[in-house]
Amino acid sequence: MKRLILRGSALAACLLLSACAGITPVQPWQKGILAKPEMTFAGDSLGNEFNEHIYSSREGASGGSGANGGGCGCY
């Protein structure tokens, strides 16, 4: 049984490594496409600033957007 598990895990490792072999690097002319705002993980910048403001107001600290909060939601 242990031999079967060992062979199965070795086969899975080989398949994983062979899948990584097909990854090609990004070409310089493709980097402009990846730099578009639609390609970010958080695409809505206004919504992100609003959520950061709410978070900093709840925590009673200043966020990374330059807004100073006292915990009450005011500036």
Whether the pTM exceeds 0.75: the reply is no
State residue 43's pLDDT score.
65
Is 48 within 8 Å of 60 (Cβ atoms)?
Answer: no
Angle (nearest 5°) at CA 15 between 28 and 6? 145
In tens digits, what is the pLDDT along the chain, a chain of 75 residues?
888 898 999 999 888 888 777 778 888 888 888 788 777 776 677 888 888 888 777 766 554 555 555 556 555
What residue has token string 């310089």? 28
**Burial of 49: CB neighbours in 10 Å, binned 0-12, 13-18, 19+:** middle
What is the C-alpha separation between 69 and 75, in angstroms, rounded? 5
Tokens read off for 46 = 């206004």
State residue 70's pLDDT score.
55
